[in-house]
Structure 1
Amino acid sequence: MQPNKHLLLFLFVLLCGIATLSAQEDLITPLPIKASKDTITAPLLPPNILNDSIRVDSVDTDTVPKKQPLLLDKIEYKAKDYVKLSQKDNKIYLYDEAEIYYQDTELKAGVIVMDYVKNEVYAGRMKDSLGNYSQLPFFKQGDNEVRPDSIRFNFDTQKALIWNSRTEQQAGLGQLGSDAMKVYAQKTKKENDSVYFMSEGKLTTSNDTVNPDYYIRVRKAKFVPKKKIIAGYSNMYIVDVPTPVALPFAYFPLTGGRAPGILFPTFGNDPRRGYFIQNGGYYLPISDYVDLSITGDYYTNGSYGLQGRSIYTKRYKFNGNVNISYENLVTSQKGFDDYSRTSNYNIRISHSQDPKASPNSRFSASVNLGSSQYYTNSLNQVNRNNSQTNTFASSISYSKTFPAYPSVNTSLTVSHTQNSRTQVINMSLPTFQASMERIYPFVKRDEVKKGIFENINFQYDVNAQNSITTTEENFFKSGMFDEARIGARHRIPIATNFKLAKYLSVSLSGNYEDVWTMETIRRQYDAETQETVTDTIAGFDRFNRYSLGTSIGTTMYGTWNFGENKKIQALRHVMRPSISYSYTPSFEQFYESYTDEDGEEVQYTPFETSIYGRPSLNKGSSLSFSLQNSLEAKVRDKDSTATEPRKVKILSNLSFNASYNLEADSLQLSPISMSGATEIIKNLPINFAATFDPYAIDNNGRRINTLNIKNGGGIARLTSARVNTSFSLNSEMFQKGGAKEKANEEKQSDFSDNPFAMNDVRGSNSRFNRGSNNRNNSNNEDQPIYNNKLPWDARFTYVASYNNNNRQSEITNHSLMFSGNIQLTPKWEVGFNSGYDLKDKGFTDTRFAFKRDLGSFRLSFDWTPFGRFERWYFFIGIKSSLLSDIKWENRSQR
């Protein structure tokens, strides 16, 4: 019983303690006992005790990866009509304008069903009570867009099945639109973000993807967006009709920007050279700034041609192109009488520098050189428009300006001119020019220049060149330098001007030239051979020359007022007469002499071969007369709201010039020249000129020292005359109201993008009629029907010249050139270019061009019906640059 007593005592004490604590819980205070560190350390456990006591699985790591979350982002969805959640089917139904957004995926459709267990969506169209479908699905993932009839898409695998999909792919340099590739497929399987597999697809660039005017049918294809389409058997359909244009397999590049690729050739045949291919080759974009295309022509008789073209550009720096062509043309076959072989070449270079690149220096080039008969003998159609080129010209120059006062402009130029008829080539290798700005030595730069001394000024310029004249036979050979001439000319012009008697303007001038040459001649008579021998002496030599001149002129005005109530209110006549005098001394010191076979002394100058002319042996002293006229009228404006009268230039210029030689012993008066221009008829400028001789002529047609008026004639003989004019006409000029009414109609037009569209399609001012109301659709608006007015334009140039030097009274040139265009329909256009020689009664090179817009195709027919270049050329092909190699062309044989 002893343990029980102790147990009862323990319980009693415990109950008392609890009661005390609960009654005095707020009176508890901590004991001030200081804590000290225990000096006894607990023993450490062995390092492997856990491993020894716990069993470890023999497989260290589970090879099965943990399953990722089913969805990586939140799915947002909505619909206009209703959103229904079916827990029984584990699906969400969205109806009418349904939309789902998940990461970069966007899906819109009329009906969408989402299975949230399988993480799949089904999208389709809506069907109304009449059986018409609307709200086709729109699927977008990243930058790729697809417009199918229905689609099934899995969010986990990112795979999809698409029925009747339509997508648009930009390729090359084109923009999305008419130049983009439209891809249609009955069934498409989306493997991943970058690979699609298509079945029964259509490829086209037509705007109408539902009923395209053409397409390429592919049975099976692999489609990589923005990169390529690799297809099996493919053939072309036109208006759903199959054509024989087919390939066992096809590759369609869809790479954006420039991409390397094959340039498809043109096929044909020539009776003298056989079958040929033209303009086939390869295109290579070398960098972002330079590209290169190499093409070639080949004929079965051995003729061939090579062309290399490169275009380069760098923004704000420079741009240009290089074209090099070579042709080896073989006619007939070797062994035949008409066999011949010729080679032609042509080099064209163009380079221009942006002005912002370097304000004080500039480099430019324009080169066109080659065989004279390159354009006329070339069989390549691209050279057809240049077949009448008679002159080739080239220029490569570098110029630099030194802006510090006095500023100096310098330039170094290499030039070339070539006549394709005479085959004469003139070259400058090179020409150096430098000129200093005008300096006023007797006045400061910022001061006003008044008086004869303050206006004294001078300049300095130098011109040096190496001139070569050769023929095409010696071009690029050592013989071309045999006739080279080198020289330089320094020139210092001095001038001043001042007012005399308030109304007269007087100018004084002088000019000094110093000419350098690197060769001179020596001439003597050889008694043994009885010939005059000319020797060329190499070495530096020089001569100088100078001249003086003065002129005085004024301006006179005459006005006639007829009243503001008159149609012609006033006339104003302006005359600017001037008289000038020039003097050039004789430079006999630069002349030598030799004795000819008759014992007579013959003078010559050693500087006859100078490219800057020879020093004058005869003294010159002459008076020149000039009279310039202009006549204009003030005419009351037809517009009643106009506050000012309208100015009409009756004569914009009428000038007379003549001179009198004070040093000549006979025939001192020069012929009188007249030139003028008028535009008294609106849009019809007329330029005319004539020459009058005050002296008579003898029976041999030579001028004699007898005035024509004293010989029984008039004051002066008309020896030559010419007149030319050019004007343009178009259909708008003959419309009621003219251009002003047209501008108002265009502002009110519903078809402002169409230049032939008018607002009132039934009124008298309409340009075309769209037809009945049941045909008023978008397709008819793009192809309107013309009523009774066809847009057209025409340009005319008339030239006539007259010669009567020896009383022959002959019209030397009398021709009319004309060209224009007629737009028969909005899709049909006819152009022409021709001329008629009224003197020789014959037409010049006449050309007709017919063009037809066939929607996705372009048709053209170029016809020269007669003449030296009689021929025709037919072309039809796809307008889009993506499929521009699909074409057919044919041409006549020469």
Structure 2
Amino acid sequence: MAFQKPSHTFTKIHLKALHTNNFKILFALSFTVFINMLSFGQDIPKKEKKIDRLVIETQEKDSLSVTSDSLALTEISEKSQDTTIIDTIIPKKELLENVVDYHADDYTKFNQKEHKLYLYNLARIEYGDMKIEAGDITIDYNKNTVYAKGIVDSTGAYEQKPVFSQGSNVVEPDSILFNTETKKALIYNSQTEQGDGTVIASITKKENDSVYFIKNAKYTTAEDLEDPDYYIKLRKAKVVPGKKIVTGLANIFIYDVPTPVGLPFGFFPQSETQTSGIILPTFGEQNDRGYFLQNGGYYFAISDYVDLTALGDYYTNGSYALRMESTYAKRYRFRGNFGFRYENLIVSERGFPDYANSTIYNLRWSHSQDSKANPSSRFSASVNLGSSKYYQLSQNNSNVGNRLNNNLSSSISYSKTFSGEPQVNYSLTATHSQNTQTQVINMTLPTFQGSVGRMYPFAAKDGSKKGIFQNINFQYNVRGENRIQTTDSLFFKKEMFDDAKAGFQHTIPLTTNFKVFKHFSISAGTSYNEVWTFKTIEKAYNPIAETEVVTDINGFDAFRTYNFSTSLGTTVYGMFNFEKEGKDSKIKAIRHVMRPSVSYNINPSFSKYYDSYEVIDADGTTRSEVEYTRFEGGIFGTPNKTFSSSVGLSLSNNFEAKVRDKDSTATEAKKIILLNNLNFSTAYNIAGDSLQWSPVRMSGGTQFFDNKLSINFGATLDPYALDNNNNRIDKFNIENGGSLFRLTSGNLTASWSLSNKNKKKGDEDDDRLEENLRGGGRADDLFGVSDDYSNQQMGKKKDDKDKPPSELYKHKIPWSLRLAYAVNYSNNRRQNEISSHSLMFSGDIELTDKWSIGGSSGYDFKNFGFTPTQLRFERDLMSWRMNFSWTPFGPWKQWNFFIGIKSSLLQDLKYEKRRQQDLRL
């Protein structure tokens, strides 16, 4: 950028009228015209020089009209003209390539003698992609410089500091001197945002649009730039905005106190997009595995939609681990994450008696499809599978909740819907269920489900469905499975498919519903069921070995069953009014809602699908006859052999109350729930010859204190007595000298959440529990929270920008407490014992805005011991984060300390120290 001198062009000067003097105005205008004519005449070339007409036409047109006589042009002979009409003289480049726009609130003054333009108060100048805003701007046309600085107000404060921006780069200095011709600048006391951090430099030299040289600068990610809690001092550095910072000797200062942590030279990548790079490992020592390097690797920024992190560990005793984590997302389409972890663990040294070597792995995949992507089809995945001992033995995470979890499960599904009448749906699902204690794995690869929507063959043409016939409807469902059961040792091996079972189940339910006597609802239906299988069995008795012989028969086979059911139900409302005239009672009314129901079910006998074989002793005598069905072991069960005809009875209750509202301005009573539900159910087998009554099952639940306290309970009541061998007999307990019912089991659970925090929706710190849920653990912190050593920096950074500053004294300290109580009683065979009895609790206290402590523990009243215990301490150090977790006792006794910078750019500036539990493979 360059500014033309007034002698070379016309300059429009905006005059601000202060006095009205016609003579002086006329004199000034005449003088201006005279000067401009003279300056223009100086640019006219001499007559003896020949100038091509093409060059003349490219010159800047002036508003002053010039006659043809003012230039004596000599005719050019065609004979003497060269073969080309292009002149060898290159026309001079225009000095102003873009339009200059400037503005100031107080005044814009041009000094003709000094050739300077002064802009004052909220001054702004724009030229191309360059923009300068400041309180005071001076443009020197002779030197082609722009000098910008702030202004001092009446109180002596320095305000309206310059803001220099060029493209996406923004600099906020105290003052700036910019050369419009060379594009170089000197910047004093500047603050420049570079990525997640800020460069604070006393002197900055702008070499060009893409290179800056700085001296005695500070680089920090702190929010308080006036007094940063830490910074990296850069004595000499080169800055390429948006790309990199290269520095010489640099070290960390904490509150202006130098530390020995530094480097002789450094490289700080700066990018507005994701870039690949090396992840530095953590060095330490761990028990009997020696020294280690953990979580070192490489980050691959594959594209804007997917990335990949590859990490590894190495221990001096030979143990090693590999991890791959990937996150992907595409807006309005899908998002997900994938992770695979493999660890080869060695205990002791080869040749010693306690030497052991074990390999563990874990595969996790989560995928969700956006609802806008495709309304008629959906794909989702939630996978968590691996070694049964992974969470117990893994060296790179500590997750007590997942260690206590006995089940791992996975599901991958795709569903498709075809709209129309009737609607057709189908889905394909692959599932996985793994017991970490028994190491038994159950899988379905795959499960196919299809259905045809409900059809009403007798409905009216207008679509109304009234009465027993118009409500008759049926649908069709089909389910096919390929079920595999295996163990950890055979997983992913060909032997796991040897005992696979496959089959299909077809069901056609036919139902209807109608009302009788206005208040009773009746529903009736029948269901047809057909099962296809590809493997059956045949049983025989071997008299020599005196054992049962089972032979597998491959081939298609099927059985067909049906049943009938009907139910009658209604709803009864009862109101107990406590209000009396002239008296404002606290309890206004209690409402009791009852929903009784009676059902009748018939299941015919399908004995035609049963065969038998004789048990013969050595002398040929038949001792007994054993019945069996060839469909035993099928994945959809076996046909019913015994005819059953039963009546089911159930009653559900709900209790609510209206009480006087504490708010005196309220016009209506307040509703509260006394019992959310209280249910009773039993059945009577009409076709049975003994023990026809089923035990009565009772369950209920309610909430108190604005739903903060939740209580659920249940019990099983058996009407029959026990004999001397503690077996049920066909004799009522009351007839045997006991009570009407015998309590055989009972349970009570209660959870109470207490807090004085004014939390809003979405304020829960759910991110720390995400690892618990991904591993199949609890959705709370009663067993502690996860410590994933490879993601220590992943703690969520709280946004405190809009938070008011803390006061010197706060009368209210935020805290929260969660309690969970559970007790189970068992008395099936007169054991009369408490099978389990425990109280668990977790909580946290925010001592200050930056300091919080928490913990989780519990007590087992049956085994007289503490449940898994974890203590947590966390400190928000503004730009840093520090936490400490400690499991003081138990089989997983350990502790972990971490302090590091929150910014992902400087996440390698950290310190970790931990002691892990001694594991035995």
TM-score bucket of the superposed structures, by smaller chain = 0.7 to 0.9
Structure-2-length-normalised TM-score: 0.81
CA offset digits 1:860-892 (Å, max 9, x no partner): 111111112111111111111221221111111
- Who is 1:727 aligned against? 752
Higher relative contact order (Cα pairs below 8 Å, separated by 6+ residues): 2
- SS across alignment from 1:701: coil
Matches within 5 A, 1:596-615: 596-598=615-617, 599=622, 600-615=624-639
- The 1:404/1:97 distance shift into structure 2, 3 A limit, reads closer
1:786 Cα offset (Å): 3.9
CA offset digits 1:675-713 (Å, max 9, x no partner): 112235542222111111111112221112221111111
- Who is 1:707 aligned against? 732
Equivalent residues of 1:71, 1:155 under 8 A apart: no
> Could you tell me the percent identity over the aligned residues?
54
Taking the aligned partners of 1:814 and 1:313, their CA distance within structure 2 comes to 45
- Who is 2:172 aligned against? 147
Taking the aligned partners of 1:613 and 1:48, their CA distance within structure 2 comes to 111
Residue 630 (str. 1) matches residue 646 (str. 2): no
Taking the aligned partners of 2:81 and 2:464, their CA distance within structure 1 comes to 109
Q: In structure 2, what residue type is equivalent to 1:887?
A: K
Equivalent residues of 1:393, 1:417 under 8 A apart: yes
- Who is 1:261 aligned against? 277
Taking the aligned partners of 1:455 and 1:813, their CA distance within structure 2 comes to 49
Equivalent residues of 2:896, 2:914 under 8 A apart: yes
- Who is 1:575 aligned against? 594
Q: 1:563 aligns with which of 579, 585, 600?
A: 579
- The 1:234/1:614 distance shift into structure 2, 3 A limit, reads same
Residue 663 (str. 1) matches residue 691 (str. 2): no
1:206 Cα offset (Å): 0.9
Q: In structure 1, what residue type is equivalent to 2:168?
A: D
Residue 588 (str. 1) matches residue 598 (str. 2): no
1:113 Cα offset (Å): 4.5
1:151 Cα offset (Å): 2.5
Q: 1:527 aligns with which of 543, 565, 582?
A: 543
Equivalent residues of 2:346, 2:356 under 8 A apart: yes
- SS across alignment from 1:328: strand
1:841 Cα offset (Å): 2.0
Taking the aligned partners of 2:117 and 2:77, their CA distance within structure 1 comes to 60
Taking the aligned partners of 2:913 and 2:629, their CA distance within structure 1 comes to 63
- Who is 1:509 aligned against? 525
Taking the aligned partners of 2:126 and 2:525, their CA distance within structure 1 comes to 86
Taking the aligned partners of 2:157 and 2:331, their CA distance within structure 1 comes to 53
1:716 Cα offset (Å): 0.8
- The 1:502/1:89 distance shift into structure 2, 3 A limit, reads closer
1:604 Cα offset (Å): 1.0
- Who is 1:548 aligned against? 564
Could you list the runs of 5+ residues in structure 1 that have no partner in the other structure?
1-44, 52-59, 172-179, 740-777
- Who is 1:883 aligned against? 906
CA offset digits 1:164-193 (Å, max 9, x no partner): 222112x2xxxxxxxx31112222111111
Taking the aligned partners of 1:233 and 1:834, their CA distance within structure 2 comes to 49
- SS across alignment from 1:188: strand
CA offset digits 1:531-554 (Å, max 9, x no partner): 221111111111122212222233
Taking the aligned partners of 1:257 and 1:868, their CA distance within structure 2 comes to 45
Instruction: Point out the more displaced range, 570-579 or 247-256.
Output: 570-579
Taking the aligned partners of 1:617 and 1:115, their CA distance within structure 2 comes to 106
CA offset digits 1:475-530 (Å, max 9, x no partner): 11121122211111111112222223333322222122111111111111112222
Taking the aligned partners of 1:557 and 1:385, their CA distance within structure 2 comes to 45
Matches within 5 A, 1:339-378: 339-378=355-394
Equivalent residues of 1:846, 1:865 under 8 A apart: yes
- SS across alignment from 1:191: strand
CA offset digits 1:218-261 (Å, max 9, x no partner): 12211111221111222211111222222222111221021112
- The 1:786/1:864 distance shift into structure 2, 3 A limit, reads farther
Equivalent residues of 2:287, 2:916 under 8 A apart: yes
Q: In structure 2, what residue type is equivalent to 1:872?
A: W
- Who is 1:402 aligned against? 418
CA offset digits 1:341-378 (Å, max 9, x no partner): 11111111112222222222211111111111112111
1:109 Cα offset (Å): 4.3
Q: 1:300 aligns with which of 300, 308, 316?
A: 316
Q: In structure 2, what residue type is equivalent to 1:703?
A: R
- The 1:100/1:521 distance shift into structure 2, 3 A limit, reads closer
Equivalent residues of 1:375, 1:389 under 8 A apart: no
Equivalent residues of 1:70, 1:156 under 8 A apart: no
Equivalent residues of 2:879, 2:902 under 8 A apart: yes
Greater Rg over alpha carbons, structure: 1
Q: In structure 2, what residue type is equivalent to 1:245?
A: V
Instruction: Point out the more displaced range, 718-727 or 504-513.
Output: 504-513
- Who is 2:37 aligned against? none
Equivalent residues of 1:786, 1:825 under 8 A apart: no
Equivalent residues of 1:784, 1:826 under 8 A apart: no
Matches within 5 A, 1:105-116: 105-109=130-134, 112-116=137-141
Q: 2:240 aligns with which of 224, 228, 245?
A: 224
Taking the aligned partners of 1:100 and 1:204, their CA distance within structure 2 comes to 30
Q: 2:713 aligns with which of 655, 679, 688?
A: 688
Taking the aligned partners of 1:856 and 1:116, their CA distance within structure 2 comes to 46
1:76 Cα offset (Å): 5.9
- Who is 1:800 aligned against? 823
1:720 Cα offset (Å): 1.0
- Who is 2:491 aligned against? 475
- SS across alignment from 1:272: helix
1:400 Cα offset (Å): 1.3
Matches within 5 A, 1:88-167: 91=116, 99-109=124-134, 112-124=137-149, 133-167=158-192
- SS across alignment from 1:346: strand
Structure-1-length-normalised TM-score: 0.84
Taking the aligned partners of 1:129 and 1:544, their CA distance within structure 2 comes to 97
Equivalent residues of 1:635, 1:645 under 8 A apart: yes
Equivalent residues of 1:215, 1:238 under 8 A apart: yes
Equivalent residues of 1:651, 1:680 under 8 A apart: no
- Who is 2:849 aligned against? 826
- Who is 1:206 aligned against? 222
Taking the aligned partners of 1:369 and 1:232, their CA distance within structure 2 comes to 49
Taking the aligned partners of 2:803 and 2:635, their CA distance within structure 1 comes to 69
1:104 Cα offset (Å): 3.7
- Who is 2:46 aligned against? none
Matches within 5 A, 1:271-286: 271-286=287-302
- SS across alignment from 1:705: strand
1:297 Cα offset (Å): 1.3
